[in-house]
């Protein structure tokens, strides 16, 4: 019984501990949370559009159009305060960020990826409401732009 | 020792449990996370602008202008998929949302608050980069629009 209790307790502490380790609490907490909110909006709207393109969600022109417009708006947010030096994933106080130090070390190389994303979301915003085929024909470039940045600048999930 | 261990264990479980209770895990999880991301962007940029207006952050025209443009963009995101019926705070599976049921019960009354916010952020986006006085003169209406919606439609913090 006592051994079991210890095991349960260790498990609970592990969960509690991993939660504490995930939340950013250093000087870059606000900037990290803000950029993660931006990525959350990318992800949510790409999820809706991708779901429609794959036939998992019924195509709806109004929703597709709104989702693509939102994605384009999110891709065009100014980011000059969102990436302070030192807010990469090499420091535990930055929490669960997966932003690799390469972003800063190779800057402004990442800006090219950002431009590719904006070009793709602009086309997607024009096309997404014009039928499922139009959505399908333009979502690939947006997905590729997401992936290109993740491949180079985001740590793999642990 | 055993009593202490039990107390520690109970504490750890409480932390782990409260975390589990906070995260939305019901059918509206994605929509709730997306609207919270939108609010996070409101909050971050209002925080920057408010900090400058109050003299806590040095006024910087370029940053103020970008923050206000971002706030205006966030206020203008389409929200037609973000508020599914049943995603209010009366259901534990909706996690830490503070969205009151009144939003849906009195709909579309809330749309008026949204319009007031957009009017205020449009003015703020025009003025924020034109000097500290211009920022100060137009941030109040944006703050009031935030508060008006919170007063009527957001639960108090527990």
Contacts of A34 in chain B (CB under 8 A): 40-41, 44-45
User: H helices then E strands: how many in chain A?
Assistant: 6, 0
| HSE value, Cβ hemisphere, 13 Å, CA-based, for B107 | 9
B27 inside domain: yes
**Shortest Cα distance, chain B CAs vs residue A156, angstroms:** 22
Tell me if B5 and A8 make a contact (CB, 8 A cut-off): no
| HSE value, Cβ hemisphere, 13 Å, CA-based, for B122 | 7
A120 inside domain: yes
pLDDT digits (tens, 9 = 90+) for A78-131: 999 999 999 999 999 999 999 999 999 999 999 999 999 999 999 999 999 999
Tell me if A5 and B5 make a contact (CB, 8 A cut-off): yes
**Shortest Cα distance, chain A CAs vs residue B155, angstroms:** 21
Give exposure, B56-89, as e/b (b: 16+ Cβ within 10 Å): eeebbeebbbbbbbbbbbbbbbbbebbbeeebbb
**Shortest Cα distance, chain A CAs vs residue B74, angstroms:** 8
How many domains does one find in chain B? 1
Domain CATH number, residue A28:
1.20.120.10
Give the CA angle between residues B7, B8, B13 to the nearest 5°. Answer: 100
Contacts of A80 in chain B (CB under 8 A): 62-63, 66
Task: Reply yes or no on whether the pLDDT at A12 is more than 70.
Answer: no
pLDDT of residue B22: 61
Contacts of B2 in chain A (CB under 8 A): 2
A80 inside domain: yes
Phi and psi of A154, rounded to 5°? -120, 135
| HSE value, Cβ hemisphere, 13 Å, CA-based, for B6 | 5
Please tell me which residue of chain A has the smallest CA distance to B60: A81
Look at residue B129 and give its three-state secondary structure: coil
User: What does the DSSP assignment read for A42-83?
Assistant: HHHHHHHHHHHHTTSS---HHHHHHHHHHHHHHHTS--TTT-
Tell me if B80 and A73 make a contact (CB, 8 A cut-off): no
pLDDT of residue A25: 84
Give the CA angle between residues A92, A98, A99 to the nearest 5°. Answer: 100
Contacts of B6 in chain A (CB under 8 A): 5
Tell me if B66 and A76 make a contact (CB, 8 A cut-off): no
- The pLDDT tens digits along chain B (158 residues) read 444 444 443 333 333 334 444 677 899 999 999 999 999 999 999 999 999 999 999 999 999 999 999 999 999 999 999 999 999 999 999 999 999 999 999 999 999 999 999 999 999 999 999 999 999 999 999 999 999 999 999 999 97
Contacts of B48 in chain A (CB under 8 A): 81
Contacts of A67 in chain B (CB under 8 A): 78, 81
Please tell me which residue of chain B has the smallest CA distance to A2: B2
A115 inside domain: yes
**Rounded CA gap, B34 and B82, in Å?**
7
**Rounded CA gap, A7 and A96, in Å?**
26
B17 inside domain: yes
pLDDT of residue A24: 79
A158 inside domain: no
**Structural domain harbouring A91:** 2-153
B158 inside domain: no
Please name the member of A30, A66, A80 whose beta carbon is closest to the beta carbon of B44. Answer: A30
Please tell me which residue of chain A has the smallest CA distance to B66: A78
Give the CA angle between residues B155, B156, B158 to the nearest 5°. Answer: 110
CB A121 within 8 A of CB A75: yes
ipTM above 0.90, yes or no: no
Task: Reply yes or no on whether the pLDDT at A20 is more than 70.
Answer: no
pTM: 0.87
Q: Select the residue from B20, B68, B70, B83 to test the A interface by mutation, using most A Cβ atoms within 10 A.
A: B70
B114 inside domain: yes
pLDDT of residue B40: 98
CB A146 within 8 A of CB A121: no
Q: In this complex, how many residue pairs, one in chain A and one in chain B, have their CB atoms less than 8 Å apart?
A: 92
pLDDT of residue A22: 61
Please tell me which residue of chain A has the smallest CA distance to B38: A37
């Amino acid at each position: 019984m006592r051994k079991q209790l210890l095991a349960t307790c260790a498990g609970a502490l592990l969960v509690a501990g991993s939660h504490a380790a995930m939340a950013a609490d250093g000087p870059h907490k606000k900037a990290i949370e803000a950029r993660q909110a931006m990525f959350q909006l990318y992800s949510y709207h790409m999820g809706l559009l991708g779901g429609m393109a794959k036939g998992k969600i019924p195509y709806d022109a109004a929703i597709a159009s709104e989702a693509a417009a939102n994605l384009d708006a999110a891709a065009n947010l100014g980011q000059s305060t969102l990436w302070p030096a030192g807010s990469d994933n090499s420091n535990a106080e930055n929490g669960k960020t997966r932003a690799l130090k390469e972003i800063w070390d190779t800057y402004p190389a990442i800006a090219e990826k950002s431009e590719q994303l904006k070009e793709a979301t602009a086309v997607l915003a024009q096309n997404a409401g014009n039928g499922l085929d139009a959505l399908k024909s333009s979502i690939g470039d947006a997905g590729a732009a997401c992936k290109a940045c993740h491949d180079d600048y985001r740590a793999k999930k642990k």
